[in-house]
């Protein structure tokens, strides 16, 4: 049996922006014993998007006079080339949608515009983007293209474990991603790393139950994956969603904020869809990017630094005037710490 | 979930109705609860689980009203 203390706590990482937020909002984060530490891992899709991919979209929009369509959280993320919000303030069209299929509707209603949907997100978002591509093809919306920046969670977790940059005793696994990929998808990496993981939902009771099961596994030195959210997550996930995803996407490589280049960590458009691939249709020079001075987002997304340890946190960087994506996105760790007073955890 | 037509359906959530896609939950029936992400139903939920989720969102929305 392993023992933990306030100076050597059991460290649980959650890898889902909704968990990050809800663990604060429900008060769980403040009420756990001092021998349990919660850290946020790479679970916020906007936060893990590399600046060069967003910068590429901005350069593309400028060079080819494109309308950019994306999710709301992406718009305010700053890069050395500005943000989509600054692009809009300079007269370019930036359209926010709730659902990727709304991008097809927009393109059909604005045939004089050349539109690019900037798709970010983990496995949870991929079926919706695949459906939008399906609609684009069926409805022949020739003025709509896709800049696909989808991330696969499991390869990133593997790189994170192997990097040795964070010591994790257990993982609280995300209900939404797991609904698609299935609880069994984590087994190979968790078995090889000797870390236990528990798939859990988002209500207070579900998160507490998940943490309790996880702590038992950690203390007993056991590993493997427990599915504590069987109401929604099946062992093999949603096979219909996996099939829809694989109709349009294939495994590729990609850059992650904080983790760098990771082979097989992305889903990219299949070659037969290169006619709608914005990266191919609207080429731009590789943007040179660097983090804003002082910004620790690259460490925050890995759980290697707490938001409050960033010199910009709650001073130069706030939700109203964010410097890094972890403060921009409502799913970001910095935004959650700011809103719920997480800095108080460290006095 | 309300009306279903092909791969689309009308879903209501906290008094808002909107069209969603049901491509990957083809067995869904009117009256079922679904988990929706980016306008797409990704899994069917049981009633108890759905009620817990709705409660969570209601609390969140009440907080937003308070904070704003």
ipTM of this complex: 0.87
Contacting B residues, span 19-58, partner chain A, CB-CB under 8 Å: 20-21, 23-26, 35, 37-40, 42-43, 45-46, 48-49, 52-53, 55-56
pLDDT at B14 over 90: no
Helix pair angle (A17-25, A204-219), 10° resolution: 100
- Rounded to an integer, what distance in angstroms lies between the CA atom of residue A319 and that of residue A328? 6
Average pLDDT in the A125-148 region?
98
One-character DSSP codes across A103-132? HHHHHHH-TTS-EEEEEEE-TTTHHHHHHH
Task: Say which range, A8-12, A284-288, B14-18, has the weakest mean pLDDT.
Answer: B14-18
Domain containing residue B28: CATH number? 2.30.30.140
> What pLDDT is stored for residue A24 in this prediction?
93
Q: Which domains does chain A have, with CATH numbers?
A: 1-338 (3.40.50.11740)
Task: Indicate the average pLDDT of chain B.
Answer: 84
B37 Cβ contact list (under 8 Å, min separation 6): A124, A125, A128, A176
| 3-state secondary structure (DSSP) of residue A62 | helix
Chain A environment of B26 (Cβ under 8 Å): 240
For an interface test with B, the pick among A99, A179, A340 (most B C-beta atoms closer than 10 Å) comes out as: A99
Chain B residues touching residue A232 (CB < 8 angstroms): 35, 43, 45, 49
pLDDT 10s digits, A26-83? 999 999 999 999 999 999 999 999 999 999 999 999 999 999 999 999 999 999 999 9
- Asked whether the predicted pLDDT for residue B66 surpasses 50, the reply is no
Q: Is the pLDDT of residue B67 over 70?
A: no
In chain A, residues with a C-beta closer than 8 Å to the C-beta of B46 are: 231
Instruction: Please give the pLDDT value at position A279.
Output: 96
With beta carbons under 8 A apart, name residues in chain B contacting A206. 52
Token pair for A272: 């037969």
CB contact under 8 A, B38 and A100: yes
- DSSP states along B6-68: TTEEEEEETTEEEEEE-TT-TT--TT-EEEEETTEEEEEE-HHHHHHHHHHHHHHHHHHHHH-
Instruction: Give the whole-number percent of chain A exceeding pLDDT 90.
Output: 90
pLDDT tens sequence across B28-48:
999 999 999 999 999 999 888
As given in the structure block, the two tokens for residue A260 are 């760098």
Instruction: Flag whether pLDDT at B64 surpasses 60.
Output: no
Least CB-CB distance to B42: which of A99, A179, A202? A179
Any residues with CB less than 8 A from the CB of A134 and at least 6 apart, and which?
A: A244, A247, A248, B23
Q: Do the chains contact at B21 and A101, CB–CB below 8 Å? A: yes
Q: Kindly identify which residue of chain A lies nearest to residue B27, measuring between CA atoms.
A: A240
Q: Which chain B residues are Cβ-neighbours of A179 within 8 angstroms? A: 35, 42-43
Most confident of A201-205, A217-221, B2-6: A217-221
Name the residue facing B37 among A124, A205, A231 (closest C-beta). A124
Question: How would residue A343 be classed by pLDDT, with cut points 50, 70 and 90?
Answer: low
CB atoms within 10 A of CB A127: 28
pLDDT at A345 (0 to 100): 57
Query: Closest to B35 (Cβ–Cβ): which among A101, A134, A232?
Result: A232
Number of compact structural domains in chain B: 1
B38·A71 Cβ contact <8 A: yes
**Cα gap B5→A147, rounded to integer Å:** 30
Q: Residue B17 is part of which domain span?
A: 4-67
pLDDT for A87-125, tens place per residue? 999 999 999 999 999 999 999 999 999 999 999 999 999
Residue A315 CB neighbour total at 10 angstroms: 10
User: Is a pLDDT exceeding 80 seen at residue A329?
Assistant: yes
Contact A229, A206 (CB under 8 A): yes
Dist. CA A166–CA A188, nearest whole Å: 20
Which residue in chain A has the smallest CA separation from B43?
A232
């Amino acid at each position: 049996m392993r023992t933990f203390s306030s100076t050597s706590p059991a460290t649980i990482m959650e890898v889902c922006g909704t968990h990050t937020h809800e663990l604060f909002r429900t008060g769980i984060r403040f009420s756990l014993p001092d021998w349990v530490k919660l850290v946020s891992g790479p679970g916020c899709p906007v936060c893990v998007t590399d600046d060069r991919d967003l910068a590429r979209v901005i350069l593309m929009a400028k060079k080819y006079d494109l309308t950019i369509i994306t999710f709301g959280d992406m718009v305010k993320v700053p890069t050395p080339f500005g943000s989509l919000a600054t692009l809009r303030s300079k007269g370019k069209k930036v359209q926010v949608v709730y659902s990727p299929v709304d991008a097809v509707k927009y393109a059909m209603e604005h045939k004089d515009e050349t539109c690019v949907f900037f798709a970010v997100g983990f496995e949870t978002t991929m079926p919706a983007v695949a459906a939008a591509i399906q609609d684009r093809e069926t409805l022949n919306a020739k003025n709509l293209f896709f800049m696909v920046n989808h991330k696969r969670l499991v390869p990133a977790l593997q790189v994170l474990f192997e990097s040795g940059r964070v010591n994790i005793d257990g993982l609280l696994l995300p209900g939404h991603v797991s609904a698609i990929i299935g609880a069994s998808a984590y087994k190979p990496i968790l078995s090889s790393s000797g870390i236990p993981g528990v798939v859990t939902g988002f209500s207070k009771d579900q998160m507490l139950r998940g943490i309790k099961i996880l702590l038992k596994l950690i203390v007993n030195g056991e590993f493997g994956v427990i599915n504590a959210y069987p109401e929604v997550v099946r062992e093999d996930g949603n096979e219909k969603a996996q099939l829809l995803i694989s109709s349009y996407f294939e495994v590729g490589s990609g850059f992650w904020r904080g983790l760098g280049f990771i082979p097989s960590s992305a889903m990219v458009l299949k070659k037969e869809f290169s006619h709608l691939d914005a990266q191919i249709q609207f080429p731009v020079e590789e943007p040179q990017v660097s983090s804003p001075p002082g910004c620790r987002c690259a460490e925050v997304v890995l759980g290697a630094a707490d938001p409050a340890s960033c010199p910009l946190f709650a001073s130069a960087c706030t939700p109203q005037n964010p410097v890094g994506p972890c403060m921009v996105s409502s799913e970001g760790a910095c935004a959650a710490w700011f809103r719920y007073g997480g800095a108080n955890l460290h006095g | 979930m309300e009306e279903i037509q092909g791969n689309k359906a009308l879903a209501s959530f906290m008094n808002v109705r909107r069209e969603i896609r049901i491509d990957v939950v083809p067995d869904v029936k009117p009256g079922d609860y679904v988990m929706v992400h980016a306008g797409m139903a990704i899994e069917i939920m049981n009633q108890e689980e759905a009620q817990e989720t709705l409660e969570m969102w209601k609390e969140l929305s009440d907080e937003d009203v308070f904070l704003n």
